Amino acid sequence: MITCKLISTDHSIPDQIIKAGQTLIIGRNQQCKIKNLFCSRNYCKIQLLSNENKLLVEYLKDDRTVQMKSGEFINGPGFSYRICMIHDSKNASTMAQVMNDEISWTELESGNVMIGSLFGGYDCKSDKIAGFDFDFTLVCTKTGKSFPSDENDWKLFDPRLTGFIQKLVEQQGYRFVIFSNQLGISKGKVTVDMVRKRFENSMKDLCIERIPCLILVATKDDIYRKPCIGLWNHLVRNIQPDVEINLKQSFYVGDAAGRSKSALKKADFSASDLLFAMNIGVNFLTPEQFLIHVAKYNGFDYQQKFEYSSSLPEKCFKVDDKTKESNFLLTNRLTGEKIPNIESILPTRVHCIIFCGISGSGKTTFYENYLQPLNYVHVNYDQLKTIQKCQQLMKKSIQEQRNIVIDNTNIERKSRQQWINLCKENGYEWIIFHFELSLKHIFHNNKFRQLTGIHKSVPDVVIYSQNKKFESLQDDECNRQFIVNFNQKFSQHDHQKLYSISGGDKKKLKNKKDKPSSSSTSTLAMNDGGMKTKTVKTKSEKDSKSSKDNNKKSKIKKESSSSDGKVEKKRKKKQEEEDEHIWKWWEEESPGEGIKWKTLEHNGPVFPPDYEPLPKKVRFYYDGKHFELSSEAEEVAGFYARMLEHEYTSKDVFNKNFFKDWRKTMNEKERELITDLKKCNFHELNEYFKQQSELRKQMTKEEKQQIKLKNEEIVNKYGYCIVDGHKQKIGNFRIEPPGLFRGRGEHPKMGKLKKRVQPEDIIINIGEKVKIPTPPAGHKWKEVRHDNTVTWLASWTENIMGNVKYIMLNPSSKLKSIKDWQKYEKARELKKYVNKIRSDYRADFKSREMMKRQRAVALYFIDKLALRAGNEKEEGETADTVGCCSLRVEHITLHSEKDGKQYVVDFDFLGKDSIRYVNSVSVEKRVFKNLKHFIVDKSPGDDLFDRLNTSSLNKYLNSLMDGLTAKVFRTYNASNTLQQQLNELTKLDMTMPEKILAYNRANRAVALLCNHQKSVSKTHDKQMENLNGKIKDKKTQIKELKKQYKETKNDAGAKEKYKKKLKTLEEQLKKLEVAKVDKEENKQIALGTSKLNYLDPRISVAWCKKWEVPIEKIYNKTQRDKFRWAIEMVGPDYQF
């Protein structure tokens, strides 16, 4: 029995199934779901002829009938189906089984290789392998992006692939194997489940004719990742060890071939597929070449020539016999003499050998092979971590009169000179060994390090940076300089084989210092018609061009050379931003009421390092005598010593709290002796910390780069999580270190000890059925939860205020963005209710109930002045900050008339974060009368609203509108003010600086409303002085130019030139004057707080789009990431 499946080629409409004897009407009907209006409801009728394995297709409009077979296409307006005949004899007893067949997945124990088998692909052995890459070879994205947005973002690279692969397997006896790199799994960009689903969804169409398929997937950057041949070796050695592969007749198809950019195609991102085939020794074809070849020769013809190895990517290093072994070890750099062994050049007296070479050039390997056996002291930065420790070890070795080797990069002359100076000072002889390798060779060595683990590999960026900074050896540095000829030695045969594999799959080197050979070479120029050879001119041929051509171009080159690098860098950075995957969560269905996520994976928090005791020479004194503290007490003493010169240590409350908590950390002996803080001398501790601070400032670029790289490693591991299959940044993944609490303003708990947070204090929140983060050794988590109704990843209770602290996602994440969007939507919703709410509270101004009158006045303040509601606090536990509901009589002063205004209220109190709120406001008459009534018979310290609290106010607000709080009022008024101000201030004829000034003024109005203040910068006056100087200089230039213009009489060309220059100078002057006004107006106003927390970003985005202002002028990169949803969501017509 035969069943036919009609497969939609672009997946825009459902596939259709026809059984023997059945008919199907294709058209714009309910079953087919074709939407194209040019397709009639009954376009064609299809019947399956079971005896002939054919379809009878009757086109109803033009009364035409044709017979079609498996593999052919039925096309019409808005649809295209590929015909696929499915026989029950192919182990498919029912159609349901055929449709539900899934890939069987297994993994290697190491977890770095996934193995999939479809239709018996694991057991289907052959001596001929038809190998294929997966992405952009068998499938590509529907969206056209470089990376799929989800597991459904795919389509077949070409519909003919199924028929061609079926022919290779069934007629030519090939084994169909997919070799795929999926490094995104180990980097956390995609999950294993997403990758598997993408394979399963696409392979059902690719192997619809039940083609046996074996899938080998490399998930990490190791020996299995192409172009390394670990996947191939696993196939040959473990899956079919009893079958010898015919390499001549086998082939591999992939898109990563190192091709250059053409008019029809982007440049290949790498050459990993080309190198993979080369390393195995099989024929290589691009996907386009494969399709043309199979169609032309009706299958694969291995006797045809495939010229692909005439050129390699610039970064690729090809190992040859000269590389593997050299007859001599060293070359005298000054004389050119060849040195066969190291013993012949070593001095007889004590000496120091200084290595010089980029990371990965073989310095440490050379030391281990040749100098370690001779008992040299090994001074190595990677082991000792700081230059100071390296110097200390060298000085110690000099005292012991031992031979020394400085195994550092020493790429700059000053870094070499410091070792030379030490040698001179101590009468040591010195020799310099220069490890001179090409960048290609270094990258190859680095990859070998990574794959074998013999030495720690170095990030590419470090190699590029060192190569750029390298300062060549000078003759005067040393009279004995030797170039080391690289000679790789192998302890294992597998390592030797691995080293001979071609790497360097990236297409281009970033640095031009490592130039390719100047001899004529051939490069690959590939197009849809296949591969052809293109000759590139050599340097000498280029130099032979006429001087006339060179002179024509010299001016252009000079003008462009200085800017090209920057332009290219900006383009690249911009392209990276554009290519960055944007999770359009607002286009997805909501996961359900209260559900924040479906799946959540993360690696837990990062804890601060354990305390390291101070050096013995750094001493603490009590009452003039040295006293050695226990480790725990010394750590807390160090917190205080760091702040010794800070104003906090002059405050009695701070000192009292510190001393009380410090004594709790002391042992019995320490508590018995140390009873008075004034007798404690922390001076040496303070000096030590200042010295350490200075040393950090004096660190070399190399040391700073190492620290930066370590931090990047930590961020890559702990700074991201996977939410519903999408990689998201974590905001605060580091646990706060212990220290002394400061608080804002005159906080009563300042000086108390913030204790070290332990894993036993931490609650982990994570998805089910995922790996639980591993706590530090010897510890365990307090609790592990799987609560998908909250957005935090970890929590703990801090010991000062007893508040719960959380590790949350970054503001740019989906979960945070949804909260932002909901916040502003709630504020917009208030527009429907605000007029009624205002009329209600105005009516309550005259209520007989005192509580209602107080509530009405409080609401008036919250609405008109954007005051915070305020929270109830325990007396003496927190700083004396207040909000609207907690105002006291002493915080207001009433004036019947002031400065020509009636009913004026002066406010003066400490608001949130101890920011002083000072404002003089003219209020409505009823409000003023109520306030006078509220303060009758009350002392200054009594509550102004004694019948009201925050809880009752918010409960009342929620009864007026679901979810309404004082903060919603604040957000509404802030956003509404910005919208009104922008509409008023922005004019048609404004220049760009004037538009920015208008926006900042609108933002300033909101900041004033919300009392967002800041202290005047210490450098403000200097900055204003500089601006005034620039304005004065610009005016002088304009004056001079006008004078020159008037003096130019008959030269029209010169006059036009002066006019243009004058216009440019006047524009620059206008820009400076606008900048001056902007800086002066905003010197005490914090614009950022309201912009990030209270202003609907869609207002700003729409304004930018309407007035053609680059969004970068309003939001920086971090802010654009936070408000990506707003940037993508709205157009220029949005109004709050």
Selection from 33, 31, 3, 34 nearest residue 18 by Cα: 3
Contact residues for 373 (Cβ-Cβ < 8 A; gap 6+): none
Preceding amide of 737 cis, omega within 30: no
Quick check: 9 and 159 in contact, CB under 8 A? Answer: yes
Give the strand order in the sheet containing 73-76: 16-19, 2-8, 79-87, 73-76
Tell me the pairing of strands 64-68 and 753-754.
unpaired
Q: Provide the greatest CA pair distance for the chain.
A: 113
Instruction: Look up tokens 């409960």; give the residue.
Output: 955
Quick check: 351 and 433 in contact, CB under 8 A? Answer: no
- For 107, the enclosing helix (H) or strand (E) is strand 104-107
Other C-beta atoms closer than 10 Å to the C-beta of 1022 total 10
Catalytic annotation present for 1094: yes
For 960, phi and psi rounded to 5 degrees? -80, -35
813: left (phi over 0), alpha (psi -120 to 50) or beta: beta
Quick check: 723 and 194 in contact, CB under 8 A? Answer: no
Compute CA 772 distance to the chain's CA centroid, rounded to the nearest angstrom: 23
Other C-beta atoms closer than 10 Å to the C-beta of 518 total 11
How many alpha carbons lie under 13 Å from residue 730 in its C-beta half-sphere?
28
Q: How far is CA 27 from CA 24, 71, 114, 760, in A?
A: 10, 21, 42, 65
Cα separation, 1125 vs 1121, whole angstroms = 8
Cα 229–225–134 angle (5° rounding)?
Answer: 95
DSSP classification of residue 30: T
Selection from 364, 394, 396 nearest residue 382 by Cα: 364
Collapsed DSSP state (helix, strand, coil) of residue 405: strand
Sign of CA dihedral 355, 358, 359, 360: negative
Sign of CA dihedral 894, 896, 898, 903: positive
- How many residues does this entry show for the chain? 1136
Cα separation, 1002 vs 236, whole angstroms = 70
H helix intervals, 385-438: 387-399, 413-425
Quick check: 44 and 28 in contact, CB under 8 A? Answer: no
Quick check: 783 and 803 in contact, CB under 8 A? Answer: no
The residues facing 522 across adjacent strands are: 535
Helix and strand numbers (H, E) in the chain are: 35, 41
Cα separation, 399 vs 416, whole angstroms = 21
Cα separation, 396 vs 898, whole angstroms = 79
- For 73, the enclosing helix (H) or strand (E) is strand 73-76
The residues facing 536 across adjacent strands are: 521
Compute CA 702 distance to the chain's CA centroid, rounded to the nearest angstrom: 23
Quick check: 105 and 114 in contact, CB under 8 A? Answer: yes
Cα separation, 544 vs 546, whole angstroms = 6
Cα separation, 552 vs 546, whole angstroms = 10
Cα separation, 114 vs 108, whole angstroms = 7
Catalytic residue among 252, 499, 1094, 1115: 1094
Collapsed DSSP state (helix, strand, coil) of residue 594: coil
Active-site residue list: 1094
